[in-house]
Amino acid sequence: MEEKVFRYIRENALLEAGDDVTVALSGGADSVALLRVLRVLAPRLGITLRAAHFHHGIRGAEADRDAAFCRALCVGWEIPFSLGRGDAPARAKQSGESLEEAARILRYEFLQQTAPGKIATAHNADDNAETLLLHLIRGTGPRGLGGIPPRRDRIVRPLLSCTRAEIEALLEREGLPHVEDGSNASDDCLRNRLRHRVLPLLRAENPGLARTLGRTAALVRAEDEYLSRLAAAAAAACKSEAGWSCGQLLALDPVLRRRVLLGMLRELGLENPSSVYVEALEELLRGGPSAQLRLPGAVTAFREYDRLRFGPAKALPALPRTPLAIPGRTVLPGGMGEISCTVTKNSYFGKKNLTTFALKCDMISGREICVRGRAPGDRLTLPGGSRSLKALMIDRKLPARLRAAVPVLVAEDRPIAVFGVGADPAWTASPDEEALTVRYHGPLIPDP
């Protein structure tokens, strides 16, 4: 079995010389076998080995027994040992998670904090088969059908090529002690019911079921990873500083688009996003020019004309009245960017650049020029005539939640230019005329 594990580690590049490896030691058969195999292989692999056990605050005296067993085993094998404790029932009550999920989260948090290097868990081929069937029963996509991956970030699983029967045979041959979790015999959870009732029937049809499902999962996982790379490239092609283009996303093949949307949700922190949210995002892409969707984690998806973006739901506050430093640089409050003012010859005349305006110096002279947010009744004169700022901002497709924060240039409280909208021709300098060049740099309006 040691040679089999050694080959699997090499084939999947799980460990390399110099690695510090912490075995997640429960005291059960699988984790004891893993610790023993890695202890034997450590000189060949060139790794440093340690172990960690987590007490979940459940199962009472039995859990205390497990912790004591793990400590004694590591002392006997001269392996550095760490013990962590948590209260899984309290977390489950507070969070609404199942007890099993709360315990898993607390355990992995402890391992991530404790392990200085890689973390080795004792998942085996039978665990992989059970996981694949669990996902299939509950409904899943290719990622779920890929089962348990050999590695994820710092976590490695060297025993995935070994069946539970092989592990039990190793323990018997070497006379290795281990402890049994009494809850494993119960059929209270679905995994145990699969293990005790369903998998024996399937093995009667295919004695090598665990290996067969393992090969299937590996193939699906490889194809899933390839499609994920395609989706990442497609997402990047659809993205700009303002967000993702709805039109470009809708032009993608539906399979690829779904993966792109799944990737967005995972980046937002949803580890296993529900298909409900993917379908809702699809509807958002096809919806009107201004719509939003609430997502878990106090995040909102916005459809803003042709752009899809994510962020907090509330509108930005109105920009307070702020005098401009002329010449100089004015930092806007609330992280809304800055405005720079320089006196130079006008080189912006006729350019469609709504982040920079060139204003006549003789019109500016002697006046205080300020920026502020839009106010009721504000109007701006453009070549087509005078219109309300609200109507002009809608025409320019400025999202509703941003409009109050968009800087409005005012002279004696009269709007003379609005970034992202335009400038009054009466205040605009002619070509090569000496001008005050006012430029906005910030998140509200992208540079051309």
DSSP code per residue over 105-118? HHHHHHHHHH-SSE
pLDDT at 229 over 80: yes
Across 232-256, average pLDDT: 92
Mean pLDDT of 214-241: 92
**Both structure tokens of 359:** 């204003």
The DSSP secondary-structure symbol of 428 reads: B
Greater pLDDT, 280 or 289: 280
Q: Rounded distance, CA 341 to CA 331, Å?
A: 12
Distance spanning both ends of the chain, measured CA to CA:
63
| DSSP label of 365 | T
Angle between helices 254-267 and 275-286 (to 10 degrees): 110
User: What band does 314 get if pLDDT is binned at 50, 70 and 90?
Assistant: low
Q: Do domains 2-210 and 241-311 have the same CATH topology?
A: no
- In angstroms, how far is CA 437 from the centroid of its own chain? 41
In order of 255, 274, 374, 376, 421, the CA distances from 321 in angstroms are 49, 45, 10, 14, 19
The 8-class DSSP code of residue 236 comes to H
- What CA–CA distance (Å, rounded) separates 137 from 187? 17
* Residues 361-378 as b or e (16 or more Cβ within 10 Å = b): eebbeeeebbbbbbeeeb
- Alpha carbons 8 and 159: distance in angstroms, whole number: 8
Q: Is the pLDDT of residue 182 over 70?
A: no
Q: What is the DSSP string of 191-203?
A: HHHIIIIIHHHHH
Class of domain 241-311: alpha beta
Residue 311, pLDDT > 80, answer no
Give the per-residue pLDDT at 404: 87
DSSP 128-144: HHHHHHHHHHH---HHH
Q: Select the more confidently predicted residue: 47 or 95.
A: 47
* The pLDDT value given to residue 293: 83
* Residue 351 clears pLDDT 60, i.e. is over it: no
DSSP state of 335: G
Residue with tokens 């088969």: 129
Task: Count CB atoms within 10 A of the CB of residue 321.
Answer: 13
Q: Any idea how long the chain is?
A: 448
pTM of the model: 0.62
> Which of 256, 267, 312, 308 has its CA nearest to residue 284?
308
pLDDT number for residue 181: 77
Distance separating alpha carbons of residues 162 and 29, to the nearest angstrom: 13
Beta bridge partners of 358: 437
pLDDT of residue 213: 92
Identify the pLDDT of residue 401. Answer: 73
pLDDT at 290 over 80: no
pLDDT in tens, 355-411: 889 899 888 888 888 999 999 999 999 988 899 998 898 888 787 778 888 999 999
Question: What Rg value do the Cα atoms of the chain yield, rounded?
Answer: 31
Q: Which of 40-44, 66-70, 141-145, 417-421 has the lowest mean pLDDT?
A: 141-145
Q: Which residues, in sequence order, are CB contacts of 200 under 8 Å at separation 6+?
A: none
* Residue 139 pLDDT > 60: yes
DSSP strand E in 25-105: where? 48-55, 81-85
Query: pLDDT grade, residue 185 (50/70/90)?
Result: low
Mean pLDDT of 4-33: 95
Per-residue model confidence (pLDDT) at position 2:
92
Domain boundaries, the chain: 2-210, 241-311, 322-441
- 406 and 444 in contact (C-beta within 8 Å)? yes
Q: Under CATH, what is the fold of the domain 2-210?
A: Rossmann fold (3.40.50)
